[in-house]
Amino acid sequence: MKIGFIGLGNMGGPMAANLAKAGHDVVGFDMADVAIEGVALVGSGAEAAKNADVVITMLPNGQILRAVANEVIPAMNTGAALVDCSTVDVESAKAVAQQAEDAGLLSVDAPVSGGIGGAAGGTLTFMAGGSAEAFAKAEPLFDIMGQKAVHCGAAGAGQSAKICNNMILGVTMIATCEAFALADKLGLDRQKMFDVVSTSSGYSWTMNAYCPAPGVGPQSPADNDYQPGFASELMLKDLRLSQQAAESANADTPMGEIASKLYAQFVENEDGLGKDFSAMLPRFEKRGRP
């Protein structure tokens, strides 16, 4: 397949490289100066999209996605597919899907979970929204870049699934960190805390797979001085997207709202910017009751 890949950053770069390694003809564009193994670079998004069977975007946010879509959609051939793997707001995802459909294209919103390691290893999970035909066209590429792809429903459903998942992630990380800080103050050994909770009803991905306490549980960013991993500002971005969606859908999400406020405080008023989102633990350690 001829693939145009736009946005070759931490995630997009290795994803594009994996498609090229699998034998696809990949033409890429990024605003920044990048070099990706096996990917031929061109000077604009429109050029990357020209004659492509599938155009994949992996961009920072919905505003940038909309700008790129305005440029790329008119350059694509009828029947080609636009697959956006960025994490963006549900409204932007739906607007771009409509624009693509109006232009005679297939479109899929397909955000991912699995981080930079998953992108490099080809083990991402894709959560996709769009027609069955569009999903079927993108699925062989998801199989190369990832280990699982779930067709969640119509346009926007992939982004809806992603922000619900990440709202749970933000809330459980905070709960895990505040529980560790409480355990510390109660004089509990951290390893014992892990041994109990990781095999009891308080277990979660944040405790068992991504433990925020250094030296406890499997290797995680906590063991590397909280270098990301998944940066706190990206967690904040996703929590804000879930609150934006909750507001427009009239859903009551109080825990998501508190998580969003705590990450905003951490990133904007404290020292969280650039640190992994599990650095909430040292933040809580330093504090007493407000």
- Using CB under 6 A, list all residues that contact ligand NAD: 6-12, 29-32, 45, 58-60, 64, 68, 86-87, 112, 115-116, 230, 234
Query: Pairing state of beta strands 106-109 and 81-84?
Result: parallel
The residue (of 216 and 234) whose beta carbon lies closer to ligand NAD is 234
Spatial distance between the Cα atoms of 216 and 125, rounded to a whole number of angstroms = 26
**What is the closest distance, in whole angstroms, from the C-beta atom of residue 77 to ligand NAD in the complex?**
20
Residues tagged active-site: 162
| Nearest distance in Å: CB 222, ligand NAD | 16
Q: Closest approach of Cβ 45 to ligand NAD, in Å?
A: 6
By beta-carbon proximity to ligand NAD, the closer residue of 10 and 199 is 10
Cα separation, 159 vs 237, whole angstroms:
13
Contact 113, 127 (CB under 8 A): yes
**Shortest Cβ 62–ligand NAD spacing (Å):** 9
**Distances in whole angstroms, Cα of residue 43 to Cα of each of 27, 29, 31, 72, 79:** 10, 6, 9, 13, 24
Residue 240 has which token pair? 């804000």
Which residues are CB-neighbours of 185 under 8 A, at least 6 positions away?
A: none
Helix and strand numbers (H, E) in the chain are 12, 9
Element (H, E) at 130: strand 124-130
How many CB atoms are located within 10 Å of the residue 183 CB? 18
Q: Which is nearer to ligand NAD, 70 or 199 (CB)?
A: 70
Residue whose beta carbon is closest to ligand NAD: 9
Q: How far is the CB of 47 from ligand NAD (least distance, A)?
A: 11
Nearer to ligand NAD, 67 or 249 (CB): 67
3 vs 183 by CB, closer to ligand NAD: 3
Peptide bond just before 229 cis, omega within 30 deg: yes
